[in-house]
Amino acid sequence: MNIVITGGSGDMGKAIISEVKTRFPEATIYEINRNIDKNTDLKGDLSNLLDVYNVSAKLKKLQIDVFINCAGWSEPVPFEDLTVKQINDRVNINFYSPLLFMQAVLPNMKKMHKGVVINISSVTAVTPVPNLHIYSASKRALDSITVSLALEYSKYGIRINGIRPGSVKTRAASLGRSKLGELKGLSDDMYEKEMSRENGYDRLLDPSEVAKMVVFLISDDSSGINGQIINVCGTMEVHS
Ligand SMILES: NC(=O)c1ccc[n+]([C@@H]2O[C@H](COP(=O)([O-])OP(=O)(O)OC[C@H]3O[C@@H](n4cnc5c(N)ncnc54)[C@H](OP(=O)(O)O)[C@@H]3O)[C@@H](O)[C@H]2O)c1
């Protein structure tokens, strides 16, 4: 099984790779990363669409069974200070790169009549947070495309699902929380406590709790699940 992941150098990405190796030891994992070249030269800065096009061209030549879009960028900025470059960077990383990578890998999956795509979204796509406007909007757009593509490709044996994590203990999240706390006039500790309470567990989630959902969505145990955006967020987002 060939698995490609973006954002594998991040805390959630590392947890996903670790769970995947445990559950599918036979799998070959390729990383799309801006800093390293492992297995292939799938190197690219996902805020740069030229890099995304170059990596997409290479992906088209590979036979990929599972594609995981995990890279993301959420640094908060007050709306009035947002520059066009900051808007473009966020949209490119969180929306355009997953979109263009899916366009690159789906034709081969269609020929193989099998494939799994998992897009890491965010609970903020449905419960937006002040100062994360473009992040929330781009994740919401990703969710929408996830569902549309699942409808289009399910007849080819392909499953495309999304995961919306809540507040997870990772590098990006602690940087983001620190800035969001600052903007709300709260210390890092106070803001982290607030986010933990919102998860409903009085703790941040562990990246492995998201990774276990990824592994489930890759496995045939989830064969009945397609076109779903699944919350892994404690009780941060609930519906009855
Ligand atoms: N942690 C949370 O609470 C939380 C909640 C909801 C959703 N999420 C989502 O979970 C995913 C993983 O995030 P994380 O929390 O694990 O953060 P993280 O530890 O900072 O990981 C982010 C990953 O994205 C990559 N990335 C960022 N900008 C990039 C760029 N321009 N080009 C290429 N790669 C880039 C990073 O690569 P480098 O190592 O090169 O920086 C890293 O691998 C993201 O999609 C995020 O939106 C996280």
160 in Cβ contact with 146 (< 8 Å): yes
Atom 7 in ligand 1: which residue has the minimum CA distance?
122
Angstrom distance (rounded) from CA 109 to CA 3: 12
- At residue 36, does pLDDT exceed 80? no
Q: Give the residue-averaged pLDDT of 215-226.
A: 98
pLDDT of residue 40: 63
pLDDT tens, 88-133? 999 999 999 999 999 999 999 999 999 999 999 999 999 988 899 9
Task: Please state the atom number of ligand 1 nearest to the C-alpha of residue 9.
Answer: 43
**Residue range 185-214: average pLDDT?**
87
Give the separation between CA 148 and CA 114, rounded to whole angstroms.
17
Least confidently predicted of 16-20, 44-48, 166-170, 189-193: 189-193
Instruction: Please determine, for residue 12, whether its predicted confidence score (pLDDT) is greater than 80.
Output: yes
Q: DSSP string of 55-117?
A: HHHHHTTS--SEEEE---------GGG--HHHHHHHHIIIIIHHHHHHHHHHHHHHHHT-EEE
Q: Relative to the CA of 71, which ligand 1 atom is closest?
A: 24
